Amino acid sequence: MQTRPEQRARIVVDMREAQEYDYLLSEAGCVVERQTLSVGDFVLSERLVAERKSRADFESSIIDGRLFEQARRLTEAYPRVIVVVEGEKGDNPDKIGRIDRRALLGAYSSLVADFGISLFFTRSPEATAELLSALAHHEQVARKSPMRVMAKPKALGVEQYQRAIIEVLPGVGPQMAKALLRHFGCPAHVLAAGEKELQEVEGMGPKRAKLIRRMLDSVWECEKEEE
């Protein structure tokens, strides 16, 4: 039995997500649209966005601090946020890769208690698609919530804008951006620093410092960008 067009939920999928989800979501009765999203991986309604992570990526994002920075951006852009952790559990119930159970539970607690994010765990892309389809259908068909890509964060403070400027540098995440700003005092001084000066910051290293300087000093070739 086919779903009538007016009963089909629309899901906007980030361009960086695997094409497999287009097929799976379509099979689940959804209309799929691809866009480059500034935050999130799947937009399910005007108010609801989903971030999907494999178990390995979830682990890595806890270690390097990305998880909580992403959580901040997601909750600033959408009233309702879910994080889907996809994949089978490992053999050791007390660990997920390099993360022990206490740290893992701490990350879960922060997402739920500090950010108000809902956590879901799925075993496969098929299960993820089934979950996303159900949520999108609830929002758009049952609740009749409008489908519109919001992603309009609240106004940021000066310190947040400063950190955002530094985070776009190659190899620089939230923690390194903070370290650079603490060391140099302001974004202008970070951007003006030479390789040796950058290496004075703990954790920077010569390769990353060289990459940053090469990016900043290279002449912009607009023709290549337009291609």
pLDDT (mean) for 30-43:
91
Whether residues 127 and 61 share a domain: the answer is yes
Residue 47 sits in a domain of what CATH number?
3.40.50.10130
Which tens digit of pLDDT belongs to each residue from 174-199?
788 889 999 999 999 999 999 999 99
Whether residues 18 and 121 share a domain: the answer is yes
Q: Flag whether 152 is in a domain.
A: no
Q: Which domain-ending residue is among 142, 170, 201? A: 142
Whether residues 88 and 179 share a domain: the answer is no
pLDDT score recorded for residue 126: 96
Give the predicted TM-score (pTM) of the model: 0.62
Domain that holds residue 203: 158-226
Evaluate if residue 94 carries a pLDDT over 50. no
Q: Which domain-ending residue is among 116, 142, 168? A: 142
Residue 79, C-beta contacts closer than 8 angstroms, at least 6 positions apart: 47, 48
Whether residues 81 and 171 share a domain: the answer is no
Q: Flag whether 151 is in a domain.
A: no
pLDDT score recorded for residue 91: 43
pLDDT score recorded for residue 21: 96
Whether residues 131 and 94 share a domain: the answer is yes
- The full DSSP string for 180-201 is HHHHHSSHHHHHH--HHHHTTS
Please choose, from the candidates 15, 4, 14, the residue with its C-alpha nearest in 3D space to the C-alpha of residue 50.
Answer: 14
